[in-house]
Chains A and B, each alone.
Chain A
């Protein structure tokens, strides 16, 4: 059943301060809407429970990319197109740019925002494994001030986050220390474009004397939240990439995920693919073979 616009309130305060003041006045009542690529879909389907919406679209405070000495701060309101067109992001964060290019078609990339992808918290969101791999941190703002939290455990359960009801994500901070790392990312979907992932992997790695010096492996669509495969990372640390290690890494990776059967894929397929992609990442890391 289609929604009646007369039942909904939508306001567009002029700046971030007014927006956080509004969120604080009636916590949990106002739903922020940026480019509408998730919210308007629910609205059109008559499934939007919030009746009061506050527009954060195109707010200057949320739509800038700041390059600092040791990190790049991406405003939560930056679109996928903004990410794809930014030179520093393109050069230093290829995992994120690939994910942005996989997200919907051009029209959705022009409206969908990185902050929206984080808050919408779909385990199948393509940009989230990239943020995990880069060890992103979030700056959250509210009328109480701001706080900086690691993105690693921001998602607490399916579609649940640590964002307080009066808070908004202002920036997604990406450390520049991974810019020399080997990058690997791959999305497996039913078709090449415009398909929600069955499995999505984003990984970074570095070798030293033929042995794994440091790796980050993150996966999407295989658990209630986007996951860092911390145990798999630990197990390969310091080791030479050999067939026996690939077998072990596959086994550990599969044990770390919690995939389900759903309309897009099966638990069994997802497990097999995650194992294979982790092995593929390690093999390409060893061979230093371009993997984006």
Chain B
């Protein structure tokens, strides 16, 4: 092969990226899914595997500020990226306002969808600090919940918007 391949291949390779503000280096196959690397290599089990096809959003994380389904990201594409998982939202024991609001409004029941819901909401509020209920519904439309019926989740996000506006 004459082409100069800058990175990747079939064998395990070493690659680095930032996770929740910390530089991490892993030795993995380039086609491993970001979701599996987070859960298995880095023991960050907040992102969940639901459907494994980008339909349910339970594996949502932020990659360079954009909400992505980590089950659909080959780890090589996360090289040098800045990843934020649910574990990175709270500042120590201090929950972020979305997390507080989800607790207050019963937005979390079984908990499988919750990390993805909160990251999707966080992504929405970063782009649109004053979303309408329609914006909230659209922003969370890629995240499925089988417990709450969604109303408590939308209420929680709306409450967090009010709380943010006050502070």
Contact = CB atoms under 8 A, between A and B. Distances in A.
- For the residues of A in contact with B, the DSSP-based class is mixed
A10 B71 contact: no
Contacts of A8: 10, 29-31
Interface stretch (B82-90, B96-104, B138-146): B138-146
Contacts of A273: none
B143 A43 contact: no
A211 to B, nearest CB: 38
A13 B3 contact: yes
A170 B6 CA distance: 21
Nearest to B28: A5
Contacts of B10: 6-10
B73 interface: yes
A41 B3 CA distance: 28
Contact of A33 (B5, B33, B66, B74): B74
Interface residues of A, number: 38
Contacts of B71: 40, 44
Contact of B68 (A14, A33, A110): A110
Interface string A15-50: 000100110010000000101110011011100000
List the 8 shortest-distance A-B pairs measured between CB atoms, nearest first. A105-B142, A5-B29, A11-B8, A10-B30, A9-B10, A40-B72, A8-B31, A5-B31
Given A10-B31, A25-B2, A104-B142, 4 more contacts: A5-B29, A12-B8, A13-B5, A22-B5
Interface of B: 1-10, 28-33, 52-55, 57, 60, 66-69, 71-74, 76-77, 79, 120, 123-124, 138-139, 141-143
